[in-house]
Amino acid sequence: MGGLGILHSFLEKTSRDGRIGPAHISLFTAILKCWSDQGYVEPITIVSKELMLIAKIFSPTTYHRTIRQLDEFGYIIYKCTSSKWESNKISIRD
């Protein structure tokens, strides 16, 4: 399924999920943009500051809470690294 199909599926699911708010939708859309920019290869390599800019999330606390919730709620698989030299990875769940 392409990026647009995944976005459509995500929006269908989240419309019935009361835990999801605007920050989740914005961040998921930013993740899809990064995925597209990287040629739809998974896992997606992300830089949190770049995702925050695209998603218009300005608080690191909000960003970290939102990305962890997307993982916890089953929309993505988020592999966080504590290394400054290694990028975080995300895979999208269908």
What is the domain extent for residue 70? 3-92
Q: Which residues contact 20 (CB under 8 A, 6 or more apart)?
A: 14, 73
Q: What is the pLDDT of residues 20-76, one digit of tens each?
A: 999 999 999 999 999 999 999 999 999 899 999 999 999 999 999 999 999 999 999
DSSP category for residue 3: H
pTM over 0.85: yes
Q: Read off the CATH number of the domain in which 72 is found.
A: 1.10.10
Considering its fold, how many domains does the chain have in total?
1
- 11 phi, psi to nearest 5 deg: -65, -35
